[in-house]
Amino acid sequence: MNELEYIGYAAGFITTLALLPQAIKVIRSKQTRDISLLWIVFMIIGIFLWLCYGYANESLPMTIANAVTLLLLTVILLFKLRFK
Amino acid sequence: MNELEYIGYAAGFITTLALLPQAIKVIRSKQTRDISLLWIVFMIIGIFLWLCYGYANESLPMTIANAVTLLLLTVILLFKLRFK
CATH code for the domain of A56: 1.20.1280.290
Among A30, A35, A43, pick the best mutation site for testing chain B contact (most B Cβ within 10 A).
A35
What are the contacts of A71-77 at 24+ separation with CB within 8 A? A72/A19, A72/A20, A72/A22, A72/A23, A73/A19, A73/A40, A73/A43, A73/A44, A73/A47, A74/A44, A75/A23, A75/A26, A75/A27, A76/A19, A76/A22, A76/A23, A76/A26, A76/A32, A76/A35, A76/A40, A77/A40, A77/A41, A77/A44
Domain range for B57 is 3-82
Is residue A41 pLDDT above 90, yes or no?
Answer: yes
Residue B82 pLDDT level (bands cut at 50, 70, 90):
very high
- Which of A7, A19, A49 is facing B7, going by the closest CB pair? A49
User: Rounded to a whole number, what is the distance in Å from the CA of B61 to chain A's nearest CA?
Assistant: 15
User: Rounded to a whole number, what is the distance in Å from the CA of A75 to chain B's nearest CA?
Assistant: 15
Percentage of chain B beyond pLDDT 70 is: 99
ipTM above 0.95, yes or no: no
User: Rounded to a whole number, what is the distance in Å from the CA of A34 to chain B's nearest CA?
Assistant: 5
First-to-last alpha carbon distance for chain A, in angstroms, is: 46
Is residue B70 pLDDT above 90, yes or no?
Answer: yes
* Average pLDDT of chain A, as a whole number: 93
Residue A76 pLDDT level (bands cut at 50, 70, 90):
very high
CA-to-CA distance for A51 and A70, rounded, in angstroms?
9
User: Which run of H or E residues covers position A46?
Assistant: helix A37-56
Instruction: Count structural domains, chain A.
Output: 1
What is the reported pLDDT for A44? 98
Mean pLDDT of B22-39: 97
Residue B34 pLDDT level (bands cut at 50, 70, 90):
very high
CA-based nearest residue in chain A for residue B54: A8
Q: Identify the residue with better confidence: B33 or B1.
A: B33
Tally of residues, chain B: 84
